[in-house]
Each structure stands twice: as C-alpha cells, then as structure tokens.
Structure 1
Amino acid sequence: MVNPTGKNGVDNGVFPPDDELKEILHDFQRCGLSLAIRLRYLEEKHGMKIGSTKLKKLNKKFEVPSARKFNDMEGATAAIADIVSRDINQGQGPDTVKRVAALRLNIIIPRDFVRATMHGLVGQGPSDLRRPGRRSGPKKRGALDAIGIFQEIHADGHEKVGEKALRMGAGIGIDIYGMRDHVGKLLWMVAVPNSRLSDTIGHVFLDMVSKYGAISVQVTFDGGSKLGWLSAFQTTLRETFAPELSTAEWPACVAVQSSINIPIESTWSYDRKFNGRTLREILEEASGKAGRRIHLIPGDLIHRHLFLWLWSKIVQISLDEFVDYFNNKKTRRQRARILPSGVAPNVVFDMPQDYGLENLAIAVPQAAIDQLRDLIDTPRSEALRWVLDVFDAVAREVYAGLGSPGLQVLTGWAIFNAMAPLLRQEFNSNGLYDALYV
C-alpha cells in the first residue's frame, strides 16, 4: 500500500534551520567530537534523532571539514608553522597543535601530517623536547574521585604574569583567577586587576554563578582574606537553596594548602604550556630580560595605562583560547584513573550520566545573585576596571584609528609602540593629561 504522507514512520525530531544546523555541525568538528558523541549532542541539546548515516550526509551537505578529506598541504603547513612559532619553548605536541589549529583557525589536519611538519620545523622529533625525565617530574598524587559534576569547585589565583612576577615596575602586571570543576572542566578563567582583593574575587565568583545559574556543593580554595566574599556568598547560597545538606558531611567551603588544591593548581601547568611561558617571555621583552628592549617606562602614566588597557585584553583572549582548547581536548586514557579519561571535559560535563556521574548543581536564581552583589562595597565596574574611563575612551579612538589590529601575544608590543605616541599627543593637545593623576 502506498504511503501518502511520504514519511518513513520514524520520528527524527525537529531540525533547526539550515544556517543554525551548519554552525552546530562545524562546531562539532572544531571541537573534535566523535560521531557517537555528536549524535548524543544532537539528540540531547537539539532534539534531533538521527543515525550516523544521516549525520554523514548532513556533514557532506554543509561541507564540514574532515581530516580524511585533507588536501590543503600548503595552508596546513603555514598554520602549523604559525602555531609552532608562538610556542617559544616548544612544549606543545602534535595533538595540541592539531587541536589549536582546529579551535583557533578552524583547520582540520591529520595528526601524522602535523607531526611530520613539526619534525621539519623544529629540527627534531617533537616528543624529544617533552619526553619524561627531561624535566623534573610532578609531585606524586593519589587518584581523584567524585560523585558528580558541581560536587566541588576548585578556585585559585595565578600571578605568573603579575606585577611581582614580572618585576617590570609598579602597576605593570596582569593577575589571573580561575575556577575548575573537580571532574575536570574549566568553568571560569579571567584576567583581573588584583587577584588578592576580596571585592574583586567576590564579583568574579558571582559572575561564574550567573553564567551557570548554579553553585557547587563545595568550593575549595587556598586560605586567605582575599576570599572573604567568595566564602560568604558560597555559604549563604548553599544554606538558602540546599538547606538539606549537612555542613558536617558536606562543608560549603574548604581552605587548603596550594599543593593540595590539585585540580586547579595542575591547570596552571597546562596554561603555561599553551600560553604562559610564551606570554611571560614576550611581556618581559619590555624589561630587557628576553634580550630585546621595548620602550616601556613604568613611571610614565601613558605607558602604564596603555600596558593595562592593551595587555589585559590580549591576556583575556589568550585565556579564552586556552579554556576552549582545554575543555575540548580528550584527556589521556588512564586505567588507574577513577574519574573519566580518554574523553574531553566538556563532554563529561554535558553528559555526566553517561560516565556514571550525577549532576549535583544547586540552582540559584539571578535575583539572589544580584542581591549578594549589592553587598560588595566596590561596584563590579570598579573592581574589574583596568584604567580610568577617560583613558579608555581615548585609547579606543586611537586603536580604531590604527584599523583595530588583531590583538595577539606576538603583535602586542608592536601595537603598544604604535599607540603610545598617538595617545601622548591626544592627551597633551586636549589638556587631559592631568586626569591620569586621579
């Protein structure tokens, strides 16, 4: 009997518009997800119930790139050379370079090609520079375990490119603050003017809660007065929205030594491989430590404000790229590991039930977050402010006048040198220089 509806009897769900579906499928490839996980995401997040054959047809229809269809050897070689040139210490392996090319440049390259190209560029096997024993090994740790996501969040500040670490002058430095779920995902990483101010960290914590609409059962951090607001907010929100939890069994906050706060502390080493060492060495070009002199005068108000205005943006871009890379990179499979391995942190976080984990997030309404934020003496705009408003306005105009060049670590000082004399001219000619003394 003829089927007048033309349907096959299978409910495939509702497909999003082609332009949205194309973006979704390309993002899957950019994140390096397997077909099975892509199908799960399509069903769980987008209501599409299809099989691998249909997914392959859609990938072909929307021209989703694939390593198997790789043919742009010249473009791939240039991309690999660019990534390798940014990694001064040559600490990135083929897998990292391949993932960076996908995430940052949207170029899909076979791993074998990446490795062969790196071998020719670096002059030796890429693994030679990263082999075990070349550097002193990490401190031995026990296996981490957890019931689920949002069971525990680890928070910590990072000052490797801060004022005290760089020693380039008063006010010259960028602090970083990060928060990571115990199961693996990096939840928040942001450049801040001062990672030791309680008001600043209070706002950073509330920003993270606002993004996810939830808090964890516990927050673990290094002890210190800088975390007064963070601790108070975590405790208040948990007592309000999860009063059934016993503080004896599940404390809302735990202060520990840095060496024990493993998940977030270990993250900084990955960040240094991806950004930190290269970033710090390039920043230190202005001090002469790296064998090159950039004309940065710490006591010069124009220079100091410009450093903070420009490099805070560049550092944040670098952090965003690192978080994207870290959360989408498959971890090394480890038989002895209790928590999931061999899968990207984002996948585990989005589908915890597939890995024997629960979602322990404690939902928090935005109204409650706003009420707590009002308790902080320093407004958010002030706590996270890098420069005076008058400087920000003039700097934006000067930057736009230069054509708004791309903000990258390797071009940061060139932009700095181009903007500095133009800013000085603007402030002097308009009588605004005295405003910087406020």
Structure 2
Amino acid sequence: MPNNPAGRNQHGEKKYPPDDILGPALHRYQSFHQTAETVLRSLKRDFGLEIGLTTLNELRNRFDVGSSRKTSRKPVEEVTQMVLEAAGLGPGGIRLPLGETEGRGIGVKAVREIMSTREEYVSEDFVREVLEQYDHDGLSARFPGSGRIRRVPALRSPGFHFEWSGDGHEKLEMKALRMGGCSLPIYGLREKMVGYIMILQVVPDVRDQNEVGHVFLDAVAAAGGVPMQQTFDCGTETVVACQAQIYFRTTFAPHLSTDIFAPTSLVKSIRNTTSEATWSFLRNHSGRLIRSHIEKGYFHVDSMDIVDQHLFHWVWFPIVQQTLDEFRLYWNMHKVRPQKIKQMMSGHRPQEVADDPSAFGLDNYLIPVPLEAIEAYRATLPPRLLWYPPDFKVMADNIYQRMSSPILTPANGWEVFVQMKRALRWELDNARAHVQE
C-alpha cells in the first residue's frame, strides 16, 4: 500500500478547474507566447491555482498545448510552408500580385502572431530565416521607420479606457469597388492607451448616424461601459454615437465635470491618429488581399441588377466580417513593438493589458454601464439597416443549404456566388412563369 494514497503533500490539496475550462485557458496563454513563469502567475490570478513548472509541463502535454519545440520536430518543409502561408506567400515564396503590396511583406513578429492564432508555434529565428530566403525585399521594407510618415504631436493618454477613437473605413465602399450598389464599408473603435481594438464591423452604410450609433452601443455592451472620452472624426454620421456617449457619461458618472473632462471630442481625420493607424495595419495584414479577391469577380456581378447586389452582400458580408474578426484577434493578441520614446504603452500585448490593467500599472477609467441601460437606449433608435430583404434571405438560405452549406472563404466566395446566382435565376424565372399562368 502506498505511503500517501490521497496524493497530498506539504503544498496542500489543489483545486483544479474543470478540463473544459483549464484546457482552453492553457491554449490561450500559449497564444500570447507567455513564458512558463507568466503562465503560472496567470493560473494563480484566474483560478487561484498554484502549481510548479513540472505540473505545468504535465498539464501542457495532457491538453496538447503547442510550442515551438514541438513544431520543430515536424519536417522542415512542412514548417516552412506554414510560415509562408502565414506571411501571405505561395509555394516557393511567390507573392500574389496585389498592386502596391508587391515587395512589402509583413514582419517576423506579425507572422508569429498570425501562426499563434492557428495554434502553430515557431521561433523568431526560424521565421526570420524563412523570410530572408523567400521574401528578402519585403522583410527589408518592414524595417521600423522605412518610408513611413510620422505625425505630430505625440499621442498621450493617462490610462486604459480613458479615450476611444472611432472612424469609418471606405476602401470596400461602392465608390471604391465600382460594382454598382455593392458596398462593404467598415466602422471601428479602438482604445488609445493600449491600442486595443474594441470592435470592427461591416455595416451597410458607414455614413448613417443610426447605424454608427448601433456599432458604438455594441462596443459599449462588449466592454461593459463607456470611456471617459470618445473621439470621432468631424461628420454627421457620429451624432447618435456622441449623444449616447454624453448620456451614459453624465448618467453613470455625474460627478465628472464635462467642462474639465469633455465626454466627446471631434477632430479632423488626420488628427484621429489612433483610428487611422488601425486601417493602415488592417491593409497590411489582410485588407488588400480581401479587396483583391473581391475585385477578381467584378465580371460576375451585373451592377444594374438588384438581385446580384443582394447576393453579393449575402456572400461577401460574412466573409469580410470573418476577416475582420481574425484581424482583431491577431492584433489584440500580438506583441506591440517596444518604443523607448513612445509616451504611451509599448512592448505589450493589448489583450493581456485589457484582462488586467492594474498588473501593468494602469488605472482603468471605464465607466460601467448596465446592459439593461444600453439596450433601453438602443430601443430608442431606428432598427439596424438590412443588407437585403427578408424574403431574399429565406430564398438564399434555402439554396445555400441545398448546396450542403460550403464554408465561405475569400478563395471560394465567387464560386459560391456563381452557383447560387444560377439557382436563384432558375427559381425566380419559375416564380414569374407561375404568376403569368
């Protein structure tokens, strides 16, 4: 009989969270590239669990948590291809012709962060060696300060959630795509101090003040409150969002003087640096690629046909939104480049700071707002705009299900569009013939 059948030692009994919680948590910590010591602190902070390195390694093996060491055991050719795919390069390092993206790739750290969202982990040295071999010009072009315009004055913020910046992005809007009424504009909100992206949404009309107001309310609901100050570009599309910010600030933080700390700030677009930088990062990450995929199918759409426009939105709206969700995940989990002269945070991961601002010495200025109050305010706004009529959605959904519901991706978007267009035409022609009879 063993001397210690209960398995207890001098460190006391451990209370582990359920496997369905502990496993995803360990994978999440690894996606941040956390060191073992940092993971141990995170386990203590999140679950009150104090363990040693040996137990941590056992748990990582048990839940199949990846690491660069495990990846290094795979064939070099396989790992190299993983790096090339994350860098947007084809076999042999060939970059697809995307106009101005030619010769300007993404950096080593960005490739590692993209791979970590896929639970693929490699060392920085290996990624750098691959990019040096297959994309030397692009890697050189990513050197800090290469050809970039520096804006002044330097950005400042006293703490987390003190200020959010909001802005619209119209590189996929109808005037840019030139495909009739086909339009996929984007609206986003980003926290200033840490650079955390609060929300990125594809909306039917980025200049509609009620639609922008709904996006702002979505961000407030997700964060659980409003910032001390909300900054927007000058424009009528921000009226409803500004009104909501002022209402929540004055209602749930009446002690704060609006003369000293203004609830809102309206600036010129070139001064809305926090938001404008977001679009630059998005373009370099996946924005140009998704636009290239969309423009390849220009000839598939009859720009004067309303049915084609509805189908375009039915197919491409979820694809673009998925791309935005992936970029937001990547950005919030990636490690920001350290900058000694920067007056705000650098060298951090936005998501880690958002999880526990105090651990990084930051004050949290978020003003809590109950969800009931947010939804009550939303009820005073007109309903959200629709991408297409409800009856079209029913018809398109039925056709999609008959096609076995293929997963929509940028690569197969136009293939699905063409197949559904053919089926839609057949059903509409039959419906017209039946009416005439």
**Structure 2: which amino acid aligns with 1:259?**
I
CA distance in 2, matches of 1:12, 1:160: 57
Q: Find the counterpart in structure 1 of residue 115 from structure 2.
A: 101
Aligned to 1:290: none
1:254: how far off?
0.6
The aligned amino acid for 1:130 is R
Q: What is the alpha-carbon distance in structure 1 between the residues aligned to residue 127 and residue 82 of structure 2?
A: 10
Measured on the aligned residues, the alpha-carbon RMSD in Å equals: 2.4
Deviation at 1:119, TM superposition (A): 4.2
Deviates more, 1:185-194 or 1:136-145: 136-145
Tell me the equivalent position of 1:214. Answer: 225
The 5 A counterparts of 1:249-398 are 249-287=260-298, 294-376=299-381, 378-380=382-384, 383=385, 385-398=386-399
Q: Alpha carbons of 1:165 and 1:361: their partners in 2 closer, same or farther (altered >3 Å)?
A: same
- Which residue matches 1:127? 139
* Separation (CA, whole Å) in 2 of partners of 1:206 and 1:12: 45
Cα distance, 1:147 vs structure 2: 2.4
Residue type matched to 2:322 in 1? I
Aligned mates of 1:312, 1:147 — CA distance in 2: 37
For structure 2, list consecutive stretches of 5 or more residues without a partner in the other structure.
none
| C-alpha deviation, 1:423, in angstroms | 1.8
Contact 2:131–2:139 under 8 Å retained in 1: no
**1:72 corresponding residue in structure 2:** 74
Is 1:182 aligned to residue 183 of structure 2? Answer: no
Report Cα offsets for 1:187-244 as digits up to 9, x if no partner.
Answer: 1111100111011011111111111211111100012111111011110111110001
**Residues 395 and 423 of structure 1 are in contact (CA less than 8 Å); yes or no, is this contact kept in structure 2?**
yes
Partner Cα separation in structure 2 for residue 152 and residue 375 of structure 1: 25
Q: In the alignment, is the contact (CA less than 8 A) between 1:12 and 1:50 conserved in 2?
A: no
AA at the equivalent of 1:79:
M
Question: How many residues are treated as equivalent by the alignment?
Answer: 419
Q: Are 1:214 and 1:361, in contact at CA under 8 Å, matched by a contact in 2?
A: yes
Name the CA distance, whole Å, in 2 between partners of 1:349 and 1:283: 34
Worse overlay, 351-360 or 211-220: 351-360
Aligned position for 2:178: 167
Alignment partners' CA distance in 2, 1:306 and 1:132: 42
Q: What is the SS of the residue equivalent to 1:265?
A: helix
Stretch moving more, 68-77 or 356-365: 68-77
Matched position secondary structure for 2:321: helix
CA shift at 1:312, angstroms? 0.8
Distance 1:349 1:173, change over 3 A: same
Shift of 1:252: 0.5
Query: Which amino acid letter does the alignment assign opposite residue 37 of structure 1?
Result: T
The answer for the alignment partner of 1:403 in structure 2 is 404
Report matched runs for 1:225-240 at 5 Å.
225-240=236-251
Distance 2:283 2:248 in 1: 34
Shift of residue 173 of structure 1?
1.6
Report the TM-score, using the length of structure 1 for normalisation.
0.89
- Note if contact 2:132-2:139 (Cα within 8 Å) is conserved in structure 1: no
Could you say which residue in structure 2 is the equivalent of 1:58? 59
Aligned counterpart, 1:291: none
SS in 2 for 1:275: helix
CA contact (8 A) 2:108 2:128 kept: yes
Aligned to 1:113: 126
Alignment of structure 1 residues 4-83 onto 2, 5 Å: 6-10=7-11, 14-70=15-71, 71-73=73-75, 74-83=77-86
Cα distance change of structure 1 residues 4 and 101 upon mapping to structure 2, 3 Å threshold? closer
- Tell me, what secondary structure is at the counterpart of 1:306? helix
Could you tell me how far apart the structure 1 residues matched to 2:432 and 2:42 are?
A: 57
* Partner amino acid, structure 2, of 1:252: P
Which is worse superposed, 351-360 or 4-13? 4-13
Q: TM-score, normalised by structure 2?
A: 0.89
Whole-Å separation in 2 of the counterparts to 1:278 and 1:51: 44
Identity of aligned residues (%): 35
User: 1-side partners of 2:404 and 2:133: how far apart?
Assistant: 36
Q: Which amino acid aligns with 2:51?
A: I
Given that 2:32 and 2:349 are in contact with CA atoms closer than 8 Å, whether structure 1 keeps it comes out as no
Distance across 2 between alignment mates of 1:299 and 1:12: 70
CA contact (8 A) 1:115 1:126 kept: no
The offset of 1:72, in angstroms, is 2.0
